[in-house]
């Protein structure tokens, strides 16, 4: 069954084009990372997928239907914003109760276990919580919803290292028991990389890449040596960034790290290493 089918979708806020001709497709449950620079259109895409907003043009289908104003579909979609809104007088208990009414596959036992794990006080008002605790409530709802499409926007904001580890483990466990489409938006790609099977990159309001994570794990290398030697091995058009120091050049290149490339670099006395994914993404979207 098609989980997500987005074709030629545009979205505007007043006259400002936020998403342009977005097209992608997903048939199978998968954990996908969503990366893009500020203002690229990530949040808008997540709002469209969750049915919170409607596209200006194009076709968008989630779980076989358009999600906007469609409560049959939105019962199977959870979108947890970065600073998710809870009522001012809501306690954790209220938030979980209300969330259970909106989600068809809600798992109360999982919610209870996560509340215990994160040590969240059930009767305390969420407005009195720290940023990290507020985030934890969102994560509990996102995981316990078991929605067929679950979207997390910056899920680790405000969490300490221990809580992050707990969340990633809980996410893995929950996904293994019940595979579903999970989209995680994060600026910190290194953090979500071990979880993701796919990565979507939004840049300049378009989906620039939507590839298996392995593509990004091999693509992008750093080379250090004489620039003439480097340019004899790689196409100069693929060079993303160049810095010069003491007669040597350090470049980042948009090519895959292959055995052939390693051999060529050895022959030309060029130091070669895999570029960090974060740096590579920053450069290809610059």
Partner 1 sequence: MNHLKGPIKIIFKDLKLQLYIFTAITLVLVIIYNGVGLYVGPDNFYPFISGPIYGILLFTPFFMFGDALKSTIGLGGTRINYLTSLIINYLVYIISLVIVHNVLFQLSELITDHTKSTMHIYHIASFFGVSNAISYFWVDMLIGIFFVGTGTIIAAVLYRFGYVWTLGITLGLGVLGFLWFTLGDMGKILKWILENKYLLLHLLGVLGVVCMMLTYPLMKQVKLKL
Whether 253 and 284 have beta carbons less than 8 Å apart is answered as: no
Should residue 198 be labelled a site residue for partner 1 when binding is judged by CB under 8 A?
Answer: no
CA gyration radius for the chain?
22
Taking the CA atoms of 11, 15, 16 and 21 in sequence, report the sign of the dihedral they define: positive
* Neighbour order of strands in the sheet with 239-245: 239-245, 248-256, 219-225, 271-274
Specify the residue, 52 or 283, whose C-beta has the smaller distance to partner 1. 52
Should residue 154 be labelled a site residue for partner 1 when binding is judged by CB under 8 A?
Answer: no
Should residue 70 be labelled a site residue for partner 1 when binding is judged by CB under 8 A?
Answer: yes
Specify the residue, 90 or 168, whose C-beta has the smaller distance to partner 1. 90
Should residue 175 be labelled a site residue for partner 1 when binding is judged by CB under 8 A?
Answer: no
Q: Which stretch binds partner 1 (CB under 8 A): 96-104, 180-188, 215-223, 276-284?
A: 96-104
Residue 261's region, left for phi above 0, alpha for psi from -120 to 50, else beta, is: alpha
CB of 195 to partner 1, least distance (A): 23
Should residue 148 be labelled a site residue for partner 1 when binding is judged by CB under 8 A?
Answer: no
Whether 105 and 145 have beta carbons less than 8 Å apart is answered as: yes
For residue 166, count other CB atoms closer than 10 A to its CB: 17
Beta bridge partners of 219: 256
Among 26, 53, 55, 110, binds partner 1 (CB under 8 A): 53
- Residue 93, both tokens: 């208990």
CB of 102 to partner 1, least distance (A): 4
CB of 118 to partner 1, least distance (A): 19
CB of 36 to partner 1, least distance (A): 19
Residues that bind partner 1 (CB under 8 A): 13, 47, 50-54, 68-72, 74-75, 77-79, 81, 84-90, 94, 97-99, 101-103, 141, 147
């Amino acid at each position: 069954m098609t989980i997500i089918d987005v074709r030629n979708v545009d979205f505007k806020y007043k006259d400002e084009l936020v998403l342009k001709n977005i097209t992608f497709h997903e048939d199978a449950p998968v954990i996908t990372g969503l990366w893009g620079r500020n203002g690229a259109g990530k949040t808008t895409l997540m709002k469209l997928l969750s049915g919170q907003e409607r596209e200006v043009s194009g076709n968008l289908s989630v779980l076989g239907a358009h999600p906007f104003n469609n409560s049959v579909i939105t019962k199977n979609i959870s979108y947890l914003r970065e600073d998710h809104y809870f009522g001012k007088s809501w306690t954790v208990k209220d938030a979980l109760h209300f969330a259970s009414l909106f989600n068809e596959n809600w798992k109360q036992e999982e919610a209870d276990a996560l509340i215990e794990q994160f040590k969240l006080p059930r009767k305390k008002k969420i407005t009195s919580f720290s940023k990290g605790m507020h985030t934890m409530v969102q994560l509990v709802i996102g995981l316990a919803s078991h929605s067929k499409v679950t979207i997390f926007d910056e899920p680790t904001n405000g969490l300490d290292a221990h809580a992050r580890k707990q969340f990633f483990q809980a996410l893995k466990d929950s996904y293994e028991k019940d595979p579903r489409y999970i989209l995680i938006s994060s600026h910190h790609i290194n953090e979500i990389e071990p979880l993701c099977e796919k990565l979507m990159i939004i840049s300049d309001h378009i989906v620039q890449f939507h590839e298996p994570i392995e593509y990004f794990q091999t693509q992008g290398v750093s080379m250090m040596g004489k620039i003439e030697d480097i340019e004899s091995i790689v196409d100069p058009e693929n060079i993303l960034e160049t810095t010069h120091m003491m007669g040597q050049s350090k470049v980042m290149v948009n090519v895959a790290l292959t055995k052939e490339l390693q051999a060529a670099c050895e022959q030309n006395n060029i130091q070669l290493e895999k570029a960090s994914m974060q740096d590579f993404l920053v450069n290809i979207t610059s």
